[in-house]
Structure 1
Amino acid sequence: MVTHRNEFRVRTTVVVSASGGSLPGVWPTCPELPELFGETRIHRCHDLYRTLETQGGIVARLVARSPYQAFRVLARDTETDGLAGFVEWVRSAETGRWVQWDEPVTGCAHGLHQPAPTMLEAA
């Protein structure tokens, strides 16, 4: 298990897929949740992965009856605002329940063990 040389903190936010007449690809902050969803210390790569996975499950319960079809939990370094990782959840077409789309994406998975301002900016 990779341990980071220096502990860092991430703040998590939740964005949702825009619906209706909104522009495709627009992910505004979820209005039903606080803008700052959480803040966590990261010591090991697994900490970031588990933070995203766990908070995604919590968000799924909190927005269970929302009209959204997808949401993302974003983890950004509190000092640099660099994106350290994210996870996406989608509503199942069969059951209407939230399911995690894939495993959380983290910089650690790509050998980047300290968030930088340009890390994973495509999310």
Structure 2
Amino acid sequence: MSVRKVLLSGELISAIANPQSAQHQQGAALYAELLKTYVAGTDRLFALSTDLDQFDKATRRARFSALVVAHVARQHRSAARKVDALFTPETALSLVIIAAEKITAVATLGDQFDALDLEIIKPLQSQ
């Protein structure tokens, strides 16, 4: 059985960390489901270092310890600039990391990845 590699989008990470966010409940519920699959060994969860840099170490260890940090380097930023005419800079950077890490799924609250050939994981609309 292969393990699914899932990138958590920056907006999902922000919603999880901010209880005042309008999307916090949906984001937290989605993250809870992903943590269950992580514990079961069916998912490996990733986040961009640029999305986690906004948090101190204590917060990262407490809330996001299950996430593999995909470190963004100069070559990733350079590659992202080549495709950011089609996407926002943040999405372009995510796409570069997705290719580099061979990630097959994205957990997100938005629609920026919908047109791509990836598995898109979103919260249920009833939440």
Bigger relative contact order (CA 8 A; separation at least 6): 2
Q: Same fold (TM over 0.5)?
A: no
TM-score range, shorter chain: under 0.3
TM-score, structure 2 as length reference: 0.26
TM-score, structure 1 as length reference: 0.27
Q: Which has the higher strand share?
A: 1
